Amino acid sequence: MKSTTIAAMALLLAASSYAMKPAFAATTDDVKWINQCVEDNKNEGAKKEVVLKYCTCMNNKMDDNETRSITQWEKTHESEAKACSRAAGWK
């Protein structure tokens, strides 16, 4: 019975952490900012899919009340930009 309880708790914890992940491009405002980021980075040498992944990651790291563009924000948030570059596979 103890192992069943532990397994049930682990399953509940895993499910709740999955449900708490941020949505990707949840609003039209998110889509606007992500599309602008993709446009800003279109000539940086990465495939469009990689740039889209990077921009979506950066958007998800930003506060919902941020007024700067992703391109402006990334200049002052180097660690987030590096993490999103790695996550997107940008080389």
Domain that holds residue 46: 24-88
Residue 37 has pLDDT above 70, yes or no: yes
Position 3 in a domain: no
Per-residue model confidence as pLDDT tens digits over 44-84: 999 999 999 999 999 999 998 999 999 999 999 999 999 99
- Domains of the chain: total: 1
Position 16 in a domain: no
The Cα–Cα gap between 24 and 33 comes to: 12
Position 29 in a domain: yes
The Cα–Cα gap between 3 and 49 comes to: 43
Position 63 in a domain: yes
b (16+ CB within 10 A) / e for 67-88: eeebeebbeebeebbeebbeeb
Q: What is the pLDDT of residue 83?
A: 96
| pTM, full prediction | 0.70
Query: Tokens at residue 47, please?
Result: 């495939």
Position 2 in a domain: no
